[in-house]
Amino acid sequence: MMNALKMRAESYNEWASNVNEALEAKVNNKRSLINFKALIEESEMKKFPDNDLLRHLRLVTQDADKCASVAQQLLNGKRQTRYRSGGGKCPNQLTVNELRLFVRQLYALPCVLSQTPLLKVTGKEHKCLP
């Protein structure tokens, strides 16, 4: 019984260490969104406690998932960028500045989204990103 408890504690500690590494990763060592989702799935499969670390991981993953969805819509042409500011703002259009800010937001996420470099290229094509 003690051995099983020790193994469970070690498993949780390893998972928690992986989560902390993922959340604190620097630019070149960021993990993918899929990896973040796998960490959540692992916690559910192994029935780890619902604590602050898991809640933070879920929140970050949800934010990244939303960003990935918007980024994919932009890449698919379902959202458009516009060069003029003001006027009747259509909810499906982003200003050039909004696109620039959105790409910065993507790079600030603790995980890597596959759409980020593609959006940066798109922004460069429109001469709105450095």
- What confidence tens digit (pLDDT) does each residue in 5-42 have? 899 999 999 999 999 999 999 988 999 999 999 999 99
- pTM here is 0.79
Query: What range does the domain containing 15 cover?
Result: 1-79+90-122
Structural domain includes residue 28: yes
Contact assessment for residue 80 and residue 91, using Cβ atoms and an 8 Å cutoff: no
- What confidence tens digit (pLDDT) does each residue in 88-123 have? 445 556 788 888 899 999 999 999 999 988 887 665
Structural domain includes residue 69: yes
Structural domain includes residue 94: yes
Q: What is the pLDDT of residue 84?
A: 46
Structural domain includes residue 20: yes
DSSP state of 46: T
Query: Total structural domains in the chain?
Result: 1
Q: What angle do CA 81, 82, 84 make, to 5 degrees?
A: 155
